[in-house]
Structure 1
């Protein structure tokens, strides 16, 4: 099952270390809305947490290497 476009954006932001509050601020929603979206993403991917969702997103092609920015640069 494919993620919806807004779910891919949220997962990409989470993959880049953004908190729920930061993602919410960028998207104009509250952090609890982001948490609900992430829970739905975890369910769709079969993930147990944020890092697992990112790994599964990369494996399934929901995320690409370009979606994940290197840190410390």
Structure 2
């Protein structure tokens, strides 16, 4: 009696003969933006100047850093 053989699902990471994982470059290469951007918060305190009310949240210059920041809110 024979049992059907099934192939295991393909792994995301390839394994080499020495059993080390080979990382897919798409998983760690960041995609740069043309310019560096900043996200600001404006605290509307009428007793302070406009500049004193500005608060820097974060700066980013890659698509991945933008998405990490935008999905945090």
Q: TM-score band (shorter)?
A: under 0.3
More strand by share: 2
Structure number with higher relative contact order (C-alpha < 8 Å, ≥ 6 residues apart): 1
**Larger of the two Rg values belongs to structure:** 2
